Amino acid sequence: MPKNTQYTEDNIRSLDWKEHIQLRPGMYIGKLGDGSSPDDGIYILIKEVLDNSIDEFVMGSGKTIEISIKENVVTIRDYGRGIPLGKVVDVVSKMNTGGKYDSRAFKKSVGLNGVGTKAVNALSSYFKVQSIRDNQSKSVEFERGKLITDELPVASSLRKGTKVTFIPDSNIFKNYKFRNEYIEKMLKNYVFLNRGLTIIFNGEKFISENGLKDLLEEQITEEAMQYPIIHLLGEDIEVAITHSKLQYSEEYHSFVNGQHTTQGGTHQTAFREAIVKTIRDFFGKNYDASDIRKSIVSAISIKVMEPVFESQTKTKLGSTEMGGGLPSVRVFINDFIKTKLDNYLHKNPDTAASIQHKIVQAEKERKELSGIRKLARERAKKVSLHNKKLRDCRVHLGDMKKDNRLNSTLFITEGDSASGSITKSRNVSTQAVFSLRGKPLNSYGKTKKIVYENEEFNLLQAALNIEDGIENLRYNNIVIATDADVDGMHIRLLLITFFLQFFPELIKEGHLYILETPLFRVRDKKNTYYCYSEEEKQQAIKKLKGKPEITRFKGLGEISPNEFKYFIGEDMRIDPIMLDKSMSVDDLLAFYMGKNTYERQQFIIENLKVELDIIE
């Protein structure tokens, strides 16, 4: 500390609840984002409010939840018990206040720490909560966490429950936009996990009769299943399992007390171990674990007393105990799988035979690839050490907290000039750059062998750390950064094909994006505007007096590092790649990379801007 710096009582400052949340929002909702990623903060805000309504349903109150989002105004209405009227203000504005500290009221709740709705309140420019119970209604309103209206209870004939309305603060969530696809996926997960619950979103009804079986049917078509879904139910646990004929890696959807644990945790680890042990015991053979789990598509949901998560956003379970006198998470899951899956396989010999066939096939492919994989790993390690294909970020160099990986990004670029500009202008803490050499190989119809034999694919796979699945994915956001011309679009398509062919879960889980860069720069001596469309260019021209200088960017290499920093910083525009619900991965690949007809060529040319309709 410099000698002239005074450290006195004046240096000590206490933040009130809302100031702390506003100053450190990442502690409460993970990353901020603009809505282009499913784990961006605006969706966590929705989830935090919804979790309370779900907990009401779980406790036997309120079978319907209504949600509407119009012009960024979010309204969530449940028909649960309603917040006790004398505590409405405290519940949404005082830390460590809530009913879930009392385990008699909420036995297996998600929101145990009394923070959720306070974070929504503090991070919203407008927040209103209305509680209806005992034939009375009470409403309170806040602006950025500050109480502005506190009404006295009034008589009401409305159905009991809670209604929350909020608008995320645009000063915190820059240029945000809600994407219905992400919200719908979240809501579907809620109904899959809570049979009997109805959620109505902007008039569309979501309900599930078969729980996790319905979830898997959303993820994989019947034609792609190796065998019919195995659906196992027990007290505090539900499991669904099948194997895919098409994909190579493992795919898990895991949940704790209704919370989607996207980063897995102790329950998912135990589940993976239990499947291997049960299959080995059933067939009496010591099959390799990777052969048993290769191409698995599965889901597990458990309920735990007072779960411990590794962060406020509850994406990874840390609990080792089930609570309530039950054995550990590991023992509980292993005993359930050992009994239920073994019984199922004995009763369904055709499924057992199909699983064994899949394992033997995986074993054969693994042995055929073993030599190639070893050489490929050595080559990837050597190249990573001795050239500049990958310019990594500090998240992976050991000097940043693990949770910051949520904000980590890998830009995939083509060409030395574009790679150089992004490398010089990036945030070295969280942004990495991978440089392609020319156009990638068209991998459509190829086997996994090509991933190891092709240097570009092998090095990209190594950079992402996805050889054995995406559980240890090194970068949360993978951003394709190519020129907006025909060659650039072709590179995008080839990369998308690679990920669809070999790692479709990267796209399913919302990790793949396209970088938007400006087409024009419009400026005069005082002001500069970067425009992403002809319409934006015309608007910029009107704002400037006199005749402005207009530059048309033909490629990423033409944008200087000094300018590029504006396009990959806080205001970065990225478009997520999303799978078309109406087409399977196989159908998508066949359409976009199959027989080269004139109609297909015209369709692609006309739809380049919207990423070949894949993101629709």
**Among 273-277, 384-388, 532-536, 584-588, whose mean pLDDT is lowest?**
384-388
- Quick one: 540 and 504 in the same domain? no
Same domain, 95 and 186: yes
| Beta bridge partners of residue 430, listed in sequence order | none
Q: What is the DSSP string of 183-220?
A: HHHHHHHHHHHSTT-EEEETTEEE--SSTHHHHHHHHS
pTM exceeds 0.85 for this model? no
Residues 6+ apart with CB under 8 A from 251: 219, 244, 296, 297, 298, 469, 505, 508
Higher pLDDT among residues 512 and 558, named by residue:
512
Query: What are the backbone dihedrals phi and psi of residue 9, each rounded to the nearest 5 degrees, phi first?
Result: -60, -25
- Distance, first Cα to last Cα, the chain: 55
Percent of the chain, pLDDT > 70?
Answer: 85
The answer to whether residue 303 is domain-embedded is: yes
Q: Which residue has the higher pLDDT, 550 or 604?
A: 550
Q: Residue 456 corresponds to which tokens in the numbers above?
A: 């570009």
pLDDT band for position 596 (cuts 50, 70, 90): low
299 & 188 share domain: no
Domain tally for the chain?
4
Residue 162 lies in a domain: yes
Residues 222 and 141 in one domain: no
**pLDDT class of 84 with cuts at 50, 70, 90:** very high
| CATH assignment of the domain containing 420 | 3.40.50.670
448 closest CA partner among 462, 433, 467, 470 = 467
Does a structural domain hold residue 9?
A: no
**One domain, residues 355 and 410:** no
Query: Which helix (DSSP H) or strand (DSSP E) does residue 87 occupy?
Result: none
Residue with tokens 């009994």: 339
Phi, psi of 327 (to 5 degrees): -70, 180
Using DSSP's 3-state secondary structure scheme, residue 352 falls into helix
CA angle 268, 274, 280 (to 5 degrees): 145
For residue 140, what is the enclosing H or E element? strand 136-143
**Domain end among 534, 552, 570:** 552
If you average pLDDT over residues 559-573, what whole number do you get?
86
- Asked if residue 141 and residue 84 are part of one domain, the reply reads yes
Model pLDDT for residues 408-421, shown as the tens digit of each residue? 999 999 877 778 88
Between 69 and 508, name the one with better pLDDT. Answer: 69
Please check whether residues 408 and 507 belong to one and the same domain. yes
Residue 614 and residue 443: Cα distance in Å, rounded? 17
pLDDT (0 to 100) of residue 586: 65
Decide if pLDDT at 107 tops 60.
Answer: no
In a domain, 23, yes or no: yes
Please give the Cα distance from 337 to 317 (Å, whole number). 19
290 within some domain: yes
- The two tokens of residue 479 are 């951003």
Of 552, 574, 595, which one is at a domain's C-terminal end?
A: 552
One domain, residues 101 and 200: yes
pLDDT of residue 545: 77
Q: Which residue type sits at 220? A: I
Residues 230 and 343 in one domain: yes
Token output for 488: 């650039």
Per the structure block, which two tokens stand in for 43? 């969706």
CATH assignment of the domain containing 158 = 3.30.565.10
231 inside domain = yes
pLDDT digits 0-9 by tens, 161-177: 999 999 999 999 988 99
Same domain, 357 and 469: no
CATH number at residue 310: 3.30.230.10
Which of 144, 172, 206 corresponds to the end of one domain? 206
In a domain, 180, yes or no: yes
What range does the domain containing 188 cover?
17-206
Same domain, 157 and 300: no
Tens of pLDDT, residues 353-410:
999 999 999 999 888 888 888 888 777 777 665 566 888 888 765 544 455 677 899 9
Question: How many percent of the chain have pLDDT more than 90?
Answer: 44
Query: Does 370 reside within a domain?
Result: no
Reported as a single tens digit per residue, the pLDDT across 470-496 is: 878 889 999 999 887 778 888 888 898
Mark whether 184 and 219 lie in a shared domain. no
pLDDT band at 26 (very low <50, low <70, confident <90, very high): confident
135-151: pLDDT as tens digits: 999 999 999 999 999 98
Over residues 240-258, the mean pLDDT reads 89
Q: What is the mean pLDDT of residues 524-539?
A: 90
Band of residue 15 on the pLDDT scale cut at 50, 70, 90: low
